[in-house]
Chains A and B, each alone.
Chain A
Amino acid sequence: MQKRYLFRMLLLFVFFGRMTAADAQGFTATGTIKEAGTGNPLAGVSVTIKGTKQVTTTDASGTFSIKPTGRTAVLVLNYVGYKTTEIAVSADRPTVTVSMEEDISPLKEVVITGLASSIKRSNLANAVTTVSARDLTGTTQIQTTDGALYGKVPGANIRMNSGAPGGGINIQLRGLSSLTQASAPLIVLDGVYISNDFQRTGRASVTGAGAASQDDGANRLADINPADIESIEVLKGPSAAAMYGTRANAGVLVINTRKGAAGKTTVSFAQDIGMATPLKLMGVDNWSEAKINSFFPVARRPIELTRYQNAVASGTFIDYEDYFYGNTATLLNTRLSVRGGDEKTKFFLSGSMTDEGGTVRRTGFERQSIRANIDHKLTKDITLSIGSNYTRTNTDRGFTGNQNNSGASIGYNISYVPNYFDLRPVGGVYPANPYFAENPVAVTDKGINNSVVNRFIQSFGLDVNLLRTERSQLKFKVNGGLDFFQNSTKVYLPDDLQFQRAQANPGDVLVGRQQTMNTNFQAAMVYNWELKKISMTTQAGMVRLDFKNDGLFNRGRGLAPGQSNIKQATVQEVEAQFENSQRDVGIFLQQEANYEDKIIGTVGIRWDKSNTNGDPNKYYAFPKASLAINLTNFDFWKSRTITQLKPRVAYGQTAGPVPFGATFTSLGGVNIGGLLGSTVAVNVGNLNIRPERAQEIEFGLDAGFFNNKLMLEATYYIKTTKDNLQPLNLSPATGVATTLSNEAEMRNNGIELALSGTVLQKENIKWTSRLMWWKNDVKITRLGIPSYTAGAFGTGLGTFLYQQGIAPTTIVGTPAISPGVFTVWGNAQPDWTSSWSNNITFLKNFDLNFLMEYRSGGDNVNLTSFLTDGGGTTKGWFDDDNKDGIPNGRQRNPAPYNNAGRWVQDATFLKVREIGLYYTVPKGFLSKTFGRVIQRAKVGLSGNNVFLKTKYVGYDPETSTFGAQAVANNVDVAPYPTARRLFFHLQIDF
């Protein structure tokens, strides 16, 4: 109640009206601001009279006008991406022309620290990574936004679940915050809390793989066009993300899309044409009569030998890996954007079309997106901004990964098919596969695994200046929006497939409709004032979030020939139906104090409640505090070598939400013999369940050398979690299985280092480089329940051990050391990761960029090898390294050869993530040839995932058959191979 009272007081305060500063005597200064080098006018530059709050901006032609009070004044020019410039004006010399230089050091950029305020990077107390549009999409084209973050964020462990088109990526920031949830960051796009769910497709059900986690689905960030993004701020842990409260345990990605700009309207057109080929194939094994006699049982040998001899006679041996995966796919992207406006209204419009094929036939990803971002000043003091985005994605991911019995997975299936047997159709007839339950060629040619998402994201913001004096300013900010999408999925295996023909009801189709509606609203007051020499920013506000998700899945089996409508099925079934909803509300307060950019401190607190918690009306508090000291801004600092030195410390708390349904003890609906039954659920609701909590303290040092040409950012953090959600397994004899508990606690600590600078700067060449290194160690400090193993496929094939004092990513398996205690075989967590990015500009018009990433350590559970060994198709299967007469494929190290350790493999790798070479056509040539129509033209070549070096046996050391998981996200089961993507680019600005 008290908090609400305070809030009302604040609102009443606004009705007092407002005062304006009286004009005083002085003169009018005017001027034009241009870009150094090109001489183009710069619109939207902020011009401030130093020492006052008086400010204006330049118009479309780069001109401004401002009235200083005295006889002389110093104007401070600020523009994002350019070096802040000061220029003296006087009544005698009131008109100036200034050139502003581009600033490659990021210190001046603005970073969001509260929910309603921002701060200069040079004053920031956290290691917030900002990924600019140039970093994100400047080098090459990547299908999804999260895929474009690889190697660009120290502290981020990003894993691609498979190479299937359309995404499927898991980001973990600063290790694990949860044992049971995905431990994936919250995503806020232009103030809208957007869904990044992995929605069910049904592939795992139809192919028999199991639960929806094995669908190999895409995460819904795939719907966002990466080219619309201006920047992504990565709040990596609770100390930076505390103001986001309950959903920020795993960090926050704050995505800002492009805005309009005052000035001449620019029309930009870009076209990419590219191709995708597999990054790596494993190769398949050849067969011989000796191998057939060794591999097959006696009764089976004659037919196998005949098949082999026929293949030898006709010379028909088929490398199935190459046959299915070795295709070249076409990649097409078209983008058009229009950007412009005046002082009152600014707009950004964009449209894009992506049509990218997959390296497996009949797979691919299409996305069409349109966006309109409009900012309009209703009055001098009221700004309204809206952003509207409609996207449609159409994804065909094919059939790869895990399956059971159905044979509807290429990789699983061909693990068992020798290269002397021809599965290809003859005259439209697909031969039955005698080595597995299905002909994978037929599945590839006829099966459907499709998802179509129609999505609308709307954001709005309203900023009102309620009060402005020379020494203070009060703003009222409201923003929010909605994220609505519908996902139509269809998984179809037609009636004439081999496995389907062997079923009582041949033909299987699963049709899903899921609908998601998220809305959020935030209102805040921000008061800037001065306390002697200290600038103060006070903010208070509230947040409300609503999430709704409904779904209906229908299945038909026993289909009419060639039909996939459920009404054409013998057996028609409502396979699943659900409705979920959730509401969170929060209140926040934050106070920042800035002493002349020398000492910057912040304290804040947020209170949250949510109706998924055991007590829906209990507020949980999330405090934060931070301090940064810019030593170089003090007068005593004399060094010219060290031009920035900022020790910083930050602390904060956040939480992870309780999943929907944790409080319910329900009766399930079942049907038997035409009757409806109610069964007691095996999960017991916990009415005392609380959100999982994390707190983090982060220490850092930011240093700049040689006029900030060389910059170092070093951070050490300790993140501890408590009340971690984990299922408490009850005695199974009581007829119930689990209840969610708040027992576990974890600790992550890690180091993040980033060194960036200009390596070389000469007349014809400029080389900037950034080297990053990070590592994280996670440990369970308290489990609270008896240790257990979970995840992957059990102890025989490698699983994970949850036990106090060790990392939850610890992989254990057979042999058992003592009953219930298994051998430790590895750890999924990488030892450390490093990335190196470079930008080289040479001969004026050439740009070369490349980005490499090295991940050291981290083990996978490689069950693709398990399958190919079982089928005799692993390359070198019949070799016999130890000459004991047993082929390698039957005898993998370590001895005694039949334990889980043989599948746990080191996944260290080096990848060239991105490389691009661009040529900007000289202006003179353009104006001579096209007159003034074309402002800028650029052509280029680029590649994504062009090079992989690893000892790991498998298509890619990054893979996860279980999708996004906190822990078991490193299990390799016959995935879709990763693609190497090469592009030609054309970019024209009109």
Chain B
Amino acid sequence: MKKLQILLIASVAAFQFSCNPLEVKELVDPNNPSEASVLNNASRSQIQFLVTGLEQRHKGYVTNVSQAWNTFGREVWYLNGSDPRFQTDWLGQAGRVPDAAYFGFGATGGGSYATPYQCIKQGYVLIDAAQNSAALTAQEKSAVAGFAKTIMAYQFIIPANWQYENGIRTDIKDPLKPGGFRTYTAALGFIDSLLTAGYADLNAAGTTFPFTLTAGWNGFNNIDGLKRVNRAIAARVAIYRKDWNGALTALGNSFMNLTGILGAGPAHTFGAPPDGFNPLYYVPDASVNTIIVVHPSVLADATPNDARVAAKFHQRTTPVTITTDAAPLVGTHQDKRWASNTSPIPFIKNEELILIKAEAHAQLGQTTDAVNAINIIRTAANIGNYGGATTQAALIDEILYQRRYSLWAEPWGHRWIDARRYDRLNTIPTSYDQGTIFKQFPRPQAEINWDLYAGG
């Protein structure tokens, strides 16, 4: 038995010395590639994955901005039977006003702030990866940079509009050393120059975009199409900057087509998993208590026989009623724009460009051009030509009214921003919900905290 004992000890000792039991192997993420793997000499397919990743990040804001900003501008109510704060907090009932970590946005600003910046970060990584890749020609690198900068500029507008007078950071490349906050005006200037830089890159990019884009870019998936989208976004930024001539110049190089389909424009792609469903789609007349409904003031203010009303609003067989501990809300109409839960959502379209043209002309006193543009919209909506006063103020009233119906509930919060641009937030009705109209959001708590941390 002594032999057995020695044998046992010997085998244990042998085990100890043969395969070192004290060794641990370094962990490599078994589930994902690392960010570092694309930053140095990425392959074409790796660049393609980053391009598609940018498209994915580009639609990240849609749900939050559509639900919240369109509620702030009372284009819709986002009725939610499961969490009354979508009513009480977002409508500003009982005098509630946003704080630095408000419901629905959290400490990081969520879909209205952190998410667009994640898209911008993706853009920077894509540009760097393309720059450092030996697989791409100089022309291809320009194409990628131009596309990325166009998307990044679009995304920068979202936090800028949400923070408004509180300003935003524009120098954000180094995650541990972000730049300071810049005013709304300065931020818009930065965005405009980013668009210009992207446009210059695209001008040096030949004719074919070297990577595959999703179907949302059909009609725009070559260098010429991307340049027209870039200029369309520049036109939107120009009217926010009150650069009326700049807006007209940009429109000239955009995809605006006065005789074309008003709904034409690039769109966010949605689909069945592994893609994501269209977040704005609800089954018609579904017996649910969470749904986006048309705000009663939009129905009340509509022009009789407006084709947009028939096309966009569906009268439910049973209204949706939400009873919370504040005022009860009743939604009679739901969104009719989406054929299915895989329908794409346009993010800028010809109709908006024509309205930008009308506004720029009106602001520049070019009344005839303004009225002509307005009439394109009115004709399409079946409400006849404009017959009202042609003073600048009357035209602006008319253009803002048409924007309410032409751009209703787009993932942008047009009415909220338009009312603020013209200092008309007080014209947004609160009588239906006893709420408050917010002007802007305070700087997110996470930004305040970062400055405290970085500042010592």
Contacts and interface: CB of A to CB of B under 8 A. Distances in A.
Interface in B424-456: 442, 444-454
B31 to A, nearest CB: 6
Interface string A790-833: 00001111000000000000000000100110000000000000
Contact of B55 (A416, A466, A677, A730): A677
B263 interface: no
Contacts of A499: 287-288
A678 B16 CA distance: 43
Contact of B447 (A671, A681, A732): A732
B24 A611 contact: yes
B446 A729 contact: yes
Contact of B24 (A476, A616, A682): A616
B321 interface: yes
Interface string A711-735: 0000000000000000011111111
A929 interface: no
Contact of B273 (A573, A661, A669, A872): A573
B446 A667 contact: no
B34 A665 contact: yes
A505 B328 CA distance: 30
Given A498-B287, A729-B108, A673 B55 contact: yes
B447 A731 contact: yes
Interface of B: 1, 4-6, 8-9, 12-13, 16-17, 21-27, 29-38, 46, 48-57, 59, 80-85, 88-89, 94, 99-101, 103, 106-109, 113-114, 117-122, 124-125, 159, 168-169, 172-176, 178, 212, 214-216, 269, 271-277, 281, 283, 286-290, 319, 321, 323-325, 328, 330, 340-341, 442, 444-454
Contacts of A927: none
B33 A672 contact: no
B49 A677 contact: yes
Contacts of A728: 453
Given A665-B35, A666-B29, A679-B122, A820 B319 contact: no
A706 interface: no
Given A677-B56, A816-B99, A666 B117 contact: no
Given A14-B9, A300-B321, A732-B114, A587 B446 contact: no
B127 to A, nearest CB: 12
A869 interface: yes
Interface stretch (A354-362, A377-385, A773-781): A377-385
A785 B453 CA distance: 6
A51 interface: no
Given A578-B31, A732-B109, A503 B286 contact: yes
A672 B344 CA distance: 11
B50 A678 contact: yes
A571 B274 CA distance: 9
A542 B21 contact: yes
A446 to B, nearest CB: 17
Given A405-B82, A678-B49, A729 B35 contact: no
Contacts of A4: 22
Contact of B122 (A380, A733, A735): A735
A680 B24 contact: no
Nearest to B121: A735
A499 B288 CA distance: 6
Nearest to A523: B12
A421 to B, nearest CB: 14
Given A667-B35, A796-B89, A673 B269 contact: yes
Given A437-B289, A788-B449, A898-B325, 20 more contacts: A378-B4, A405-B81, A407-B289, A432-B287, A436-B289, A437-B287, A464-B8, A464-B9, A502-B288, A544-B21, A573-B272, A616-B25, A672-B55, A678-B46, A729-B107, A730-B446, A733-B178, A734-B174, A786-B448, A796-B89
A409 to B, nearest CB: 9
B78 to A, nearest CB: 12
A437 B101 contact: no
A473 B157 CA distance: 78
Nearest to A609: B24
Contacts of B109: 732
Contact of A675 (B37, B214, B281): B214
Given A437-B288, A732-B444, A679 B340 contact: no
Nearest to B95: A898
A653 interface: no
A586 to B, nearest CB: 9
A672 B283 contact: no
Q: Lowest 10 CB-CB distances: which A-B pairs, in order? A: A735-B121, A673-B214, A502-B286, A677-B52, A573-B273, A677-B53, A786-B449, A666-B32, A671-B274, A678-B49
Given A735-B172, A735-B175, A674 B446 contact: no
A505 B46 CA distance: 34
Given A11-B13, A404-B83, A789 B272 contact: no
A579 interface: yes
Contacts of B216: 673
5 contacts: A382-B4, A412-B82, A735-B118, A788-B449, A872-B323
Given A785-B449, A788-B449, A673 B275 contact: yes
B175 A734 contact: yes
B445 A437 contact: no
A88 interface: no
A584 B35 CA distance: 26
